[in-house]
Structure 1
Amino acid sequence: MSDNQIFIPDNGDLGLIVLESCKALGQKIDEEIKSRRGTKESFLIPTEEIRFSNGEGKVKLSETVRGKDIYILCDVGNHSCTYNMFGLQTFKGPDEHFQDIKRTVSAIRGKARRITVIMPLLYASRQHRRKGRESLDCALALQELERLGVQEILTFDAHDPNVQNAIPLLSFENLYPTYDILKTFITEEKSAEIDKNKMLVISPDTGAMDRAIYYSSVLGLDVGLFYKRRDHSTVINGKNPIVKHEYMGRDVEGQDVLIVDDMIASGESVLDIARELKARKARNVYIAATFAFFTEGVDKFKKLYEDGLITRVYSTNLTYISPEVQQAEWFKKVDMSEFIARIINRLNHDQSIASYMDATYVIHQLLKSRS
């Protein structure tokens, strides 16, 4: 049975609970599902996220969820959501967004037939393992959702997928936006030649090497690696500062390069690599990341673009992107609403999503259609 055929699933009517942090993406997903099912009736369940003046909160559902297949969407990385606490405007952080997920599950009160949490950016994913006497936030959060009765968790490009070992009996799907990123890249960069003799894929560090190898293999390109030499005697903002980026790979002179990573935080590391590549006479430097936070603003990216050191940055709308960034010439947004709608549609119909876990075939078809 195809995605576009209409039928009532045996496992419950579909219900989407889209929290404030994920409103724009959630509405687009709802429109996609409505289009696929040939209906004008929204699947969104009206939800209120209420904050009291002392900062405490609650979630209220204005519609029944009894017997429904519920999908809760939350962007824990959205830093634009605010509330008033003691008369002051306060911004929600990841902890507060995660608390709202728990409040939502609590408001459902066990009445739903199945609860799936979709956190495109996995909560506390950067604190996924212990290196000493420190907390293990991501694992504890996943276990808490399991105890609350969540049956499935969907996320994208988890910083370390092995964190799912904390919940071995719970369904945990780690999806990747590779196809959508490459589709947008190929559509936008018509002058880029995806040829082994004219382009390379670059990994910004050893941790991103598996991702870079996958990109290079499906594109038929060589891969290069930058190794971060760090000063382990110093800790700044929780990290050892980078002393120098050492490059390993073939000559990049006259080549287009695509730097791939899971996230851009401050962007300092990836911009240093862009400078190194241009110093080695690379032609165009493209950057692709699943999540773009720009935690220290975008002035540095704007400056490097104006100086011709970077050509474009590609990132998804899986986490909040400010209007300033979306309108920038150097940035291209990759819309993931159709992909997520397909996943939700199939899961609600109790169909396999295995074909969406490996994008190799569709990427090869995309490249054939371009040539």
Structure 2
Amino acid sequence: MQHRSNHGPRPHAFQPPQGELALLAGSANKILSQRVADELGVRLTPCEAHYFSEGNVFVRILENVRGRDCYIIQGTHNPVNDNFMELLFWIDALKRASAQQVTAVVPFFSYAKGDKKDEPRVSIRARVCADAIEAAGADRCLMMDLHTPQIQGFFHIPVDHLYARYVLCEHIRTLNIPDLVVCSPDVGFAKNASAYADYLGAPLVIGNKVRRDHSEQAQVLELVGDVQGKNVLIVDDFTISGGTLIAMADVLKARGANDIYAAVSHGALSKGVAPKFGASQIKQLFITDTIEPQNDPLTHNITVVSVSRLFAEAIQSIHDRTSVSQLFPDSNNPEI
């Protein structure tokens, strides 16, 4: 039996006030959870998860949460199904412990790509997961950079959607990269890439990418826009195999670009991918800490930018019943 305890000995005496914020760390995001707790100035509520040899998971909250406003931070990255089931069990445990409100904080929602029935006899996986989260008892969700924003419509409970681009752009601005051009690897991400370009005050170019038979490897066929003599920032929502970013960098170099940078919200790097980035044309890859590195040590050209402050501010806004959209400087409707 594998034991994953987030804290030390089980306390018994602590009696929290009604409605007090309680922040819990699931197994998937312990580092990010501690950073969020530090930003909020609160301690993590003691809890533990046991993984048994046959695959079962058992979760337990080690403190009274009755009447409290609870937030469980648990992403659903690899191992996807283990982490997703653990999330459901945390929600159920909190509801059965009479929490006043349970918010599922899911930094990376891995089934977000399964958002449509685009071929016969397939499941709309994101909808199934949304139904499961609701059935477990979540009162609301807090997520970052869903593959498509309309996934919020799969839920009947409120979903607050955060964007990593503000944090990534602020970091990139500190580098003072001259003659910067933002590049979308495909038409599908062009709208989001345009938001990056507007925020950085840079022009936009767009690639033409194809992917066949659900492969993680994509082929970049064409580029719309001029990058001759420019420094280019490729942006995307996540990377698993690195194929899209590395292939795009090769095309950009062939078109006369100078330094190539890349920024993605979720670095879901599979085994062997970090070294590929180390040997690629990409001078620097910026990822966030929504997913903890699992397979290979990060190479010299991969930088992790923390989104803990943004999550902390969003959690505080939800707890205080104030607007979450006020955290975004280009929000079109700050009263939402």
Q: Say yes or no: TM over 0.5.
A: yes
- Whether the 8 Å contact between 2:216 and 2:241 is mirrored in structure 1 is no
1:13 aligns to 2:20 (yes or no): yes
Which residue among 304, 307, 330 is the counterpart of 1:360?
330
Q: Shift of residue 210 of structure 1? A: 0.7
Which residue among 170, 177, 183 is the counterpart of 2:164?
177
- Whether the 8 Å contact between 1:11 and 1:350 is mirrored in structure 2 is no
The corresponding residue for 1:115 is 102
Matches within 5 A, 1:40-59: 42-59=42-59
Structure 2 counterpart SS, 1:360: coil
CA shift in 2, pair 1:180/1:240, >3 Å: closer
- Whether the 8 Å contact between 2:37 and 2:43 is mirrored in structure 1 is yes
Q: Shift of residue 342 of structure 1? A: 1.2
CA shift in 2, pair 1:47/1:182, >3 Å: same
Matches within 5 A, 1:15-94: 15-34=22-41, 42-77=42-77, 79=78, 93-94=79-80
Which residue among 307, 311, 333 is the counterpart of 1:340?
311
The corresponding residue for 1:299 is 275
Q: Shift of residue 242 of structure 1? A: 4.5
Residues 30-80 of structure 1: CA deviation (Å, up to 9, x unaligned)? 11111xxxxxxx432111111233222211111111000000101221x4x
Matches within 5 A, 1:315-334: 315-322=287-294, 325-326=297-298, 328-334=299-305
Structure 2 counterpart SS, 1:125: helix
Q: Distance in 1 between matches of 2:151 and 2:122?
A: 16
Matched pairs, number: 313
Q: Distance in 1 between matches of 2:326 and 2:81?
A: 33
The corresponding residue for 1:365 is none
The one-letter amino acid of 2:289's match is: N
- Whether the 8 Å contact between 1:11 and 1:348 is mirrored in structure 2 is no
Residues 212-269 of structure 1: CA deviation (Å, up to 9, x unaligned)? 1111122222111111245x6xx3xx239645421111x2111011111001110111
Deviates more, 1:142-151 or 1:155-164: 142-151
Residues 289-336 of structure 1: CA deviation (Å, up to 9, x unaligned)? 0011222422221112xxxx221100100111259544x321111111
The corresponding residue for 1:225 is 206
Q: Shift of residue 147 of structure 1? A: 2.1
Which residue among 92, 100, 117 is the counterpart of 1:130?
117
Structure 2 counterpart SS, 1:225: strand
Q: Specify which structure has the bigger relative contact order, considering alpha-carbon pairs within 8 angstroms and separated by 6 or more residues.
A: 1
Structure 2 counterpart SS, 1:311: strand
- Whether the 8 Å contact between 2:181 and 2:231 is mirrored in structure 1 is yes
- Whether the 8 Å contact between 1:47 and 1:59 is mirrored in structure 2 is yes
The one-letter amino acid of 2:90's match is: T
Once superposed, what is the RMSD of the aligned Cα atoms?
A: 2.1
Structure 2 counterpart SS, 1:124: helix
The one-letter amino acid of 2:99's match is: A
Q: Distance in 1 between matches of 2:65 and 2:216?
A: 48
Residues 119-170 of structure 1: CA deviation (Å, up to 9, x unaligned)? 0101411212111211122111111221222111111110012122222x31
CA shift in 2, pair 1:241/1:21, >3 Å: closer
Q: Shift of residue 277 of structure 1? A: 0.7
The one-letter amino acid of 2:305's match is: V
Structure 1 counterpart SS, 2:279: helix
Unaligned runs of 5+ in 1: 1-9, 35-41, 80-92, 362-371
Q: Distance in 2 between matches of 1:352 and 1:242?
A: 39
Unaligned runs of 5+ in 2: 1-16, 332-336
CA shift in 2, pair 1:28/1:240, >3 Å: closer
Structure 2 counterpart SS, 1:60: strand
Could you tell me the percent identity over the aligned residues?
26
Which residue among 142, 145, 152 is the counterpart of 1:154?
142
The corresponding residue for 2:222 is 246
TM-score (norm 2): 0.87
Q: Shift of residue 177 of structure 1? A: 1.1
The corresponding residue for 1:286 is 261
Which residue among 183, 189, 206 is the counterpart of 1:202?
183
Structure 1 counterpart SS, 2:112: coil
Q: Shift of residue 186 of structure 1? A: 2.1
The corresponding residue for 1:267 is 242
Q: Shift of residue 184 of structure 1? A: 1.4
Structure 2 counterpart SS, 1:224: strand
